[in-house]
């Protein structure tokens, strides 16, 4: 979920052939998990933390929207659910300070002996929402209060973690079944940084399955090889990416074809907290022109496109995004035709919304791509890895 703070913008396979344009290198890419070395003669011994997995549930409203799992906060621990969001860097969740405005499970700071109020208030506005509708103005906005407390995830715990309590939220958040968002940006921060400092390897993996497959999970500090097939292909983050998970792409293909607009280098952001795909208007128009002339902008909801529901499921709409691996090989990440239909518009049930929203200045993919791969987010080596996901 891409956030825009009021003071700072935080931009933040079922088959191997669908993943690769060229044959994968004969030498496998491997991630070796090692404990940190200790100087000789030192009496200090740090035991590396073992990788841990967190089961994820799928928020499903006709299409897969978000995946969320449990954390606990405070002493004694209060259990909350959060989206593990690669498009942001901070932790925020509903609190009793929000009252009836927040229908989600709320954290009560008065019940935690380790809670420390930071006393600072701020607001945060999101550039992408929870579902598939585009953000308009400040309709996805949270009011926050800074604090610190003990946070635990996957059985691993760290004290005095910076966080934010939600004290107010706009109505767009009301349907959320989860209490908040745990940022998982490309620089380790918060609970993840604390665990890395305790010896957890600085990477995590996501198995974001469609609801029909289930058993989605986040693995902190490692890779669950039972959830992938073949050998992951890794690509390096561009220099200067900061907290943003992004990769350079030379071109896009739609049903195997490209155009002058699509055959243009761009940087693609990967956001596990966003459901669909955002491209600049010219790119969205070029993609839809290769799918069907009947896909038109929907003036009732700025940034969206639609087509008659009785036509949409017949359309070929395979979108391939080209990348280059660390070894110099070209590979594609593919969004299949099955993702094109994200359901009927509320204002017109005979008109179905299509996958891509127009958002000038942004090239971003979310869950509609990620759920077709096992993804590896390697903070320490500033790279991303992808492999065909088991069962998808």
Among the listed residues 337, 184, 330, 366, the one whose alpha carbon sits nearest the alpha carbon of residue 248: 330
What residues contact residue 64 under an 8 Å CB cut-off, 6+ apart? 58, 208, 210, 211, 275, 367, 368, 371
- Taking CA atoms, 78 is separated from 87, 97, 103, 217, in Å, by 25, 15, 16, 21
Q: Under 8 Å CB-to-CB from 345, ≥6 apart: which residues?
A: 298, 300, 301, 304, 306, 351, 352, 353
Q: Which of 339, 366, 365 is nearest to 353 (CA)?
A: 339
**3 state SS of 60:** strand
CA-atom Rg of the chain in angstroms: 21
The residue from 64, 85, 320, 378 that is catalytic is 85
CB 370 within 8 A of CB 386: no
Out of 58, 64, 176, 271, the active site residue is 271
Question: Which residues have CB under 8 Å from 319's CB, separation 6+?
Answer: 252, 253, 254, 277, 287, 334, 335
Sheet holding 246-249, edge to edge: 246-249, 266-270, 364-365, 277-279, 356-358
Task: Tell me the C-alpha distance between 58 and 130, whole Å.
Answer: 12
Tokens 């606990």 sit at which residue?
A: 72
Say whether 117 is catalytic: no
Helix (H) or strand (E) holding 19: helix 16-19
Reply yes or no on whether 85 is catalytic. yes
Active-site residue list? 85, 271
């Amino acid at each position: 979920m891409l956030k825009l703070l009021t003071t700072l913008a935080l931009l933040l396979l079922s088959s191997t052939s669908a993943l690769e344009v060229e044959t994968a290198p004969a030498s496998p890419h491997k991630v070796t998990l090692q404990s940190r070395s200790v100087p000789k003669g030192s009496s200090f011994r740090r035991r590396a933390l073992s990788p841990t997995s967190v089961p994820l549930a799928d928020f499903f409203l006709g299409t897969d929207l978000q995946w969320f799992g449990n954390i606990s906060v405070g002493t004694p621990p209060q259990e909350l659910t959060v989206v593990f969001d690669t498009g942001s860097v901070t932790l925020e969740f509903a609190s009793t300070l929000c009252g009836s405005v927040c229908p989600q499970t709320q954290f009560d700071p008065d019940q935690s002996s380790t809670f420390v109020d930071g006393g600072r208030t701020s607001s945060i506005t999101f550039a992408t929402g929870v579902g598939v509708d585009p953000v308009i103005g400040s309709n996805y906005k949270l009011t926050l209060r800074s604090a610190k407390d003990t946070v635990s995830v996957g059985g691993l715990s760290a004290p005095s973690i910076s966080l934010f309590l939600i004290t107010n939220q706009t109505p767009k958040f009301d349907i959320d079944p989860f209490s908040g968002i745990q940022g998982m940006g490309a620089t380790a921060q918060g609970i993840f940084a604390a665990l890395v400092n305790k010896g957890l390897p600085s990477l995590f993996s996501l198995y974001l399955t469609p609801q029909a497959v289930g058993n989605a999970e986040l693995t902190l500090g490692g890779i669950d090889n039972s959830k992938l097939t073949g050998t992951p292909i890794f690509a390096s983050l561009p220099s200067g990416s900061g907290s943003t998970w992004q990769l350079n792409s030379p071109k896009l293909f739609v049903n195997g074809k490209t155009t002058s607009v699509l055959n243009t280098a761009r940087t693609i952001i990967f956001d596990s907290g966003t459901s669909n795909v955002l491209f600049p208007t010219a790119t969205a128009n070029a993609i839809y022109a290769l799918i069907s002339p009947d896909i038109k902008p929907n003036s009732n909801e700025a940034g969206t496109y639609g087509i008659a529901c009785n036509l949409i499921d017949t359309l070929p709409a395979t979108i391939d995004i080209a990348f280059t691996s660390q070894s110099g090989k070209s590979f594609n990440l593919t969004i299949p035709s099955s993702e094109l239909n994200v359901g009927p518009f509320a204002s017109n049930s005979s008109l179905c919304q299509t996958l891509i929203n127009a958002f000038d200045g942004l090239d971003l993919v979310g869950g509609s791509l990620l759920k077709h791969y096992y993804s590896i987010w390697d903070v320490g080596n500033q790279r991303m890895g992808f492999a065909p996901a088991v069962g998808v």
